[in-house]
Amino acid sequence: MSPPTLRNVLVLGVAQTLAWGSSYYLPAVLAEPMAKGLGVDIPDIFLAFSLAMLVSAVVGPVAGRAIDRWGGRPVLMLVNFVFALGLAGLALAQTYSQLLLAWCVLGVAMGSGLYEAAFATLVKLFRDQSRAPITGITLIAGFASTVGWPLTAWMEVHWGWRGACWGWVALHLLVALPLNAWVSGAKPLPAVAHSATAPAVSSTDDPEPPPVDWRIWWGLAYSFGVAWFVSTAMAAHFPRVLQLAGLGLVAAVAMGALIGPAQVGARWLEFSLIRKSHPLVSARLAALAHPLGVVLMVTLGAPWAAVFAVLHGAGNGVLTIAKGTLPLVLMGPSAYGHRQGWLMVPARIAQAAAPWLFGVCLDRWGLAALGLTVALSLSAAAVFHGLPQRRADAS
């Protein structure tokens, strides 16, 4: 990578780590003290988080269009203030309704400031050369839980859960905001010759994008929705799944700790070894990783739980990259942010539903509930296999 590209990757990667740590990974640590502080049940806190995910699905396309038009820097800087406002709302909440409102504000920030926004920022800057920078960001932000969970826990122990929220407010305003301000501005598009029959393109707009190939659009939307349903279901219930497979709680938690390193390791392999292959190749393999891990654990027994954890984490890590690279490669960089926002609407809805729905399946079916995630993952792999490896507008 060139020095400017590397700078943008490092800056966005660290800012994304803070964004994920202060939103997506927040309830895992603060749900219990929040519930006690407000006199509600822990599931009520996760219901508020699910509401935030639904809000983020609505906001995503709007934020993507804004990045397409003005670039990522002003949008991401504004989002830091929205993150701070939502976290301050959590810290000040005295009733459950106030907590719900604060999570809705955080949902606006999540829909306009997490990976999709960072990917759109890079595509606005680097167009078709964005695959490596996108992977680079996921390599850094892959440690969001590794950083976010201990940091949140430390702040909660020393300052209480409200103090932890104020701590994240400070990190957004004092660290993440200056980092996002350091992102390169949007590149001016090359001049486009136009005639009386061809309208001029303004310097703030992408050229008119080619028509959408709806087979590709719906294929990606479905596959990403499946991937994020499986990922979120496992994130919420992985220790319980392993306990149903025969492991004790301590061993199950230890196996779960392998998922994060496996995600980062797989992203590094994608970045270093297979980045010259078509991203559909890695996506197809990644979609098969979770089913393979389940089959090995179920057929060979609990000792293979570690292999299941590594395969699941590796597949999830590569699919996170595919979420950014496949829309770029298959549909092109024009209007990338807006299209990406719409593509992720099903995934956000799936994320919101996954913890509850998969929990019900575990209650009713036990370990056999993994049949649902296996079937969904295999269907996504089949869809990936059916997608063309050439962009729809390629000649």
In this prediction, residues 187-212 reach a mean pLDDT of 45
C-alpha distances in angstroms, 220 versus 127, 217, 325, 336, 384? 20, 5, 11, 14, 8
- Give the closest residue to 115 by CA, choosing from 286, 354, 317, 371: 317
* Helix H or strand E encompassing 201: none
Q: How high is the pLDDT of residue 203? A: 40
In this prediction, residues 174-202 reach a mean pLDDT of 63
Q: pLDDT band for 27, please (50, 70, 90 cuts).
A: confident
Q: Of 15-24, 140-149, 349-358, where does mean pLDDT reach its minimum?
A: 140-149
Q: How high is the pLDDT of residue 348? A: 87
User: Does a structural domain hold residue 208?
Assistant: no
- The percent of residues in the chain predicted with pLDDT above 90, rounded, is 48
User: Does a structural domain hold residue 207?
Assistant: no
Residue 106 and residue 52 in contact, taking contact as beta carbons nearer than 8 Å:
yes
Q: How far is CA 322 from the centre of its chain?
A: 11
Name which residue leads in pLDDT, 274 or 362: 362
Considering the domain architecture, whether residues 27 and 142 belong to the same structural domain is answered as yes
Residues 271, 268: Cα–Cα separation, whole Å:
5
Q: pLDDT band for 315, please (50, 70, 90 cuts).
A: very high
Residues 346, 354: Cα–Cα separation, whole Å:
12
First-to-final CA distance of the chain: 28
Q: Is the whole-model pTM more than 0.85? A: no
pLDDT at 204 over 50: no
Residues 211, 115: Cα–Cα separation, whole Å:
25
| Tokens at 88, concatenated | 């301050």
- Give the closest residue to 122 by CA, choosing from 130, 111, 113, 114: 130
Over the stretch 82-137, which tens digit does the pLDDT of each residue have?
999 999 999 999 999 999 999 999 999 999 999 999 999 999 988 888 888 988 89
pLDDT at 256 over 80: no
In this prediction, residues 241-257 reach a mean pLDDT of 83
User: Does a structural domain hold residue 200?
Assistant: no
**What's the whole-number average pLDDT of the chain?**
86
Residue recorded with tokens 């009520």 = 44
C-alpha distances in angstroms, 38 versus 53, 97, 119, 136? 21, 10, 37, 40
Q: Quickly list H helices, the chain.
A: 3-21, 27-38, 42-70, 72-92, 96-113, 115-126, 131-141, 144-171, 177-181, 214-244, 249-256, 259-272, 279-300, 305-331, 336-343, 345-365, 370-386
- Give the closest residue to 23 by CA, choosing from 121, 97, 94, 117: 117
User: Does a structural domain hold residue 199?
Assistant: no
Q: Cβ atoms within 10 A of the Cβ of 188, count?
A: 8
Q: pLDDT band for 395, please (50, 70, 90 cuts).
A: very low
Considering the domain architecture, whether residues 246 and 344 belong to the same structural domain is answered as yes
Q: How high is the pLDDT of residue 42? A: 83
Considering the domain architecture, whether residues 173 and 221 belong to the same structural domain is answered as no
Q: What are phi and psi of 252, to 5 degrees?
A: -65, -40
| Tokens at 140, concatenated | 């850094």
Considering the domain architecture, whether residues 32 and 119 belong to the same structural domain is answered as yes
Considering the domain architecture, whether residues 114 and 219 belong to the same structural domain is answered as no
Q: How high is the pLDDT of residue 143? A: 82
Query: Which residue range forms the structural domain that includes residue 367?
Result: 214-386
Tell me the Cα Rg of the chain.
21
**Between vectors from CA 295 to CA 252 and to CA 273, what angle results, nearest 5°?**
85
Considering the domain architecture, whether residues 111 and 260 belong to the same structural domain is answered as no
Q: How high is the pLDDT of residue 275? A: 66
Name which residue leads in pLDDT, 208 or 198: 208
Residues 249, 368: Cα–Cα separation, whole Å:
19
pLDDT at 190 over 50: no
In this prediction, residues 311-331 reach a mean pLDDT of 89
Q: How high is the pLDDT of residue 236? A: 75
Give the SS3 label for residue 71: coil
Q: How high is the pLDDT of residue 238? A: 83
Name which residue leads in pLDDT, 174 or 199: 174
Considering the domain architecture, whether residues 263 and 352 belong to the same structural domain is answered as yes
pLDDT at 147 over 80: yes
pLDDT at 74 over 90: yes
Residues 226, 284: Cα–Cα separation, whole Å:
13
Tally of domains in the chain: 2
CATH number, residue 231: 1.20.1250.20
* Helix H or strand E encompassing 95: none
Under DSSP, the state recorded for 143 is T
Considering the domain architecture, whether residues 236 and 303 belong to the same structural domain is answered as yes
Considering the domain architecture, whether residues 77 and 170 belong to the same structural domain is answered as yes
pLDDT at 317 over 70: yes
- The percent of residues in the chain predicted with pLDDT above 70, rounded, is 91
Considering the domain architecture, whether residues 118 and 246 belong to the same structural domain is answered as no
Considering the domain architecture, whether residues 250 and 363 belong to the same structural domain is answered as yes
Q: How high is the pLDDT of residue 209? A: 56
Residue 359 and residue 369 in contact, taking contact as beta carbons nearer than 8 Å:
no
Q: What are phi and psi of 191, to 5 degrees?
A: -60, 140
Which of 181, 196, 226 is a domain's end point?
A: 181
Q: How high is the pLDDT of residue 188? A: 46
Considering the domain architecture, whether residues 128 and 236 belong to the same structural domain is answered as no
User: Does a structural domain hold residue 257?
Assistant: yes
Residues 273, 67: Cα–Cα separation, whole Å:
31
Residues 259, 311: Cα–Cα separation, whole Å:
8
Residues 4, 183: Cα–Cα separation, whole Å:
9
User: Does a structural domain hold residue 195?
Assistant: no
